[in-house]
Every structure is written in C-alpha cells, then in structure tokens.
C-alpha cells in the first residue's frame, strides 16, 4: 500500500477516534439512559459500545470502502481486503459502566502482518496516543518516550486478567513479578495499559489471552517508541487472539522472563 494512502488514513482516523470518544463520553455522563447486556462472566456490552462502533464502521466504509473491518461488537467484514481496521469502541466497558475513567476508544489499521496505524483516545483525560509505523508515536502531538527502567523494582507493570484468562498462568506471572521486586496495576483497559508502556508510565504489560481489538493499537505504539512486544498476529492472532507481552526497551529481558514463568 502506498505511503500516501496510509498517511490519508492516519489523518482521517485521528479525527474519527476523537469524535467517537466524544460520542462515548456523552453516554458515560448519562449512565441512567444506557441499556446493557451481559455477554459472559465480567463481560458486558452496552448501547454505547454498539452505537460508537457503528459510527466508526460507517465513517470508515464511507471514506475507505475498499478496506476490511473487525469490530468487537459487529465482527468481520471483508477479511480478504488488503487493509483491515480493527476497532474496540469502548475498551474497558466494565470501568465505563461503573463510572470509572479508565476506558478508551482503540483503532488500529493492519496491512498483512504489519500494524500500520495505532490510535487510542481516552476521553476522560482528553489524551490521544497516536502512531503511524515508521514515524514515531505521540501523546497529544508530543513525542512519547518509554521508561528507562531495566528491572522490575524501577517501575509499574500492568497485568491484565479476565475470566477468559488462565488463573494459573496469571498467578505465576504475578508471583514472579512480586518475588522479583515488582508492583502491578490492572486499570481495566488493556489498550490503555499497553499505551502506558509506550508513554513511559508502565515498564511492561502482560495478559494471558486477549483479543486483537484490545491491543493492536497499543502494540504499534510500544514498537514505535523502541519497546518490544511478542508477535501478536502470529497463529491467526487477528481472529482468535493471543497472549500479549509488551516491554519498554530496558525491560525486554525481565518481561520475557515473566512470560516464561507464566508458562508461555
């Protein structure tokens, strides 16, 4: 795909992700109007999720009808397309529904095995994490710099967990981290926690099993700041998900040790 085409998509999707965030924020501030459904244990979907995803999907189809689409709520469209948009309309729905601010809109653009665009917008803090492959990563337009940490005792590791994950693997990862001087956060949004690695707020992030719409944008951000991630798209990761591991430049080795301790 030509560079001009990627650039056009990058500019258009930055406007779109902010507009989608504004739409979601209106629902967040009017929780009493929301209709919700339970998809599984600790897994919810709301009218806001569906409305925001529908808005994003329609705008992208209007602007780039040749592109494919994968959304958390509406699934796949045109998997054979050269480029595919991967969208989580509200990552951190449980936080969203409980009045907690740690949720976001996540949009990635994938061409083959490359994540060309990664965008994460957090409306409650008005923070836009953005990257285009090969052109660095920014937070509200300013270059992001990862943590300089080289060990667990120099920062915070994000650890994600849901009932879909392995309790045993998560316990092993947590035990390894604590036994090696680390501390952890789980703020309820995989996309934001991965973005925080890129922004230098966290030194790493791990979750046993996750969907592509939860983390591809964040993975792109981490890589563009010089950090390291596992090859999430391997073994049909786009469609079926995978474990995710992200590390700042100096914590690659210790995070890989945590990954191994968890049984990967």
Complete DSSP assignment for 54-103:
HHHHHHHHHH-TTSEEEETTTEEE-TTSSEEEEEEEEE-HHHHHTT-S--
42: confidence class by pLDDT, cuts 50, 70, 90? very low
- Mean of pLDDT values over 237-260: 97
User: Does 167 lie in the same domain as 137?
Assistant: no
CB distance 208 to 241 below 8 Å? no
User: Does 39 lie in the same domain as 14?
Assistant: yes
User: Does 178 lie in the same domain as 136?
Assistant: no
* pLDDT of 38 strictly over 70: no
User: Does 177 lie in the same domain as 136?
Assistant: no
45: confidence class by pLDDT, cuts 50, 70, 90? low
Share of the chain above pLDDT 70, in %: 95
Structural domain of 64: 3-143
**pLDDT for residue 2:** 80
* pLDDT of 33 strictly over 80: no
User: Does 190 lie in the same domain as 162?
Assistant: yes
Task: Mean pLDDT check: name the lowest of 66-70, 96-100, 176-180, 184-188.
Answer: 96-100
Beta-carbon count within 10 A of 126 CB: 12
Q: Which residues pair with 159 in a beta bridge?
A: 206
**pLDDT for residue 25:** 96
CB distance 88 to 69 below 8 Å? no
User: Does 159 lie in the same domain as 139?
Assistant: no
The pTM score is 0.94
Beta-carbon count within 10 A of 38 CB: 9
What sections of 200-241 are H helices per DSSP? 212-224, 237-240
- Mean of pLDDT values over 131-159: 97
d(CA 183, CA 178): 6
Domain count, the chain: 2
- Mean of pLDDT values over 208-217: 96
- Final residue in a domain of this structure, among 143, 164, 194: 143
User: Does 253 lie in the same domain as 207?
Assistant: yes
């Amino acid at each position: 795909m030509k560079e001009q085409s990627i650039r056009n998509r990058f500019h258009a999707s930055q406007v779109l992700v902010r507009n989608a965030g504004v739409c979601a924020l209106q629902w967040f501030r009017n929780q009493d109007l929301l209709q919700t459904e339970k998809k599984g244990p600790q897994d919810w979907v709301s009218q806001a999720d569906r409305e925001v995803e529908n808005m994003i999907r329609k705008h992208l189809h209007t602007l780039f009808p040749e592109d494919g689409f994968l959304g958390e709520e509406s699934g796949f469209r045109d998997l054979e397309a050269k480029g595919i948009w991967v969208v989580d309309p509200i990552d951190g729905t449980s936080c969203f529904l409980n009045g907690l601010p740690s949720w976001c809109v996540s949009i990635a653009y994938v061409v083959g095995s490359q994540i060309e665009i990664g965008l994460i917008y957090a409306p409650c803090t008005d923070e836009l994490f953005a990257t285009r492959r090969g052109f660095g990563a920014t937070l509200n337009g300013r270059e992001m710099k990862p943590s300089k940490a080289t060990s667990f005792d120099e920062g915070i590791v994000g650890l994600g967990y849901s009932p879909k994950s392995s309790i045993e693997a998560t316990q092993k990862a947590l035990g390894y981290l604590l036994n090696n001087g680390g501390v952890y956060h789980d703020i309820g949004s995989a996309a934001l926690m991965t973005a925080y690695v890129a922004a230098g707020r966290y030194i790493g992030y791990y979750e046993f099993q996750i969907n592509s719409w939860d983390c591809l944008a964040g993975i792109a951000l981490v890589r563009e700041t010089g950090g390291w991630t596992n090859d999430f798209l391997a073994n049909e990761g786009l469609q079926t998900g995978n474990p995710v591991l992200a590390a700042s430049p100096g914590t690659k080795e210790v995070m890989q040790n945590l990954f191994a301790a968890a049984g990967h």
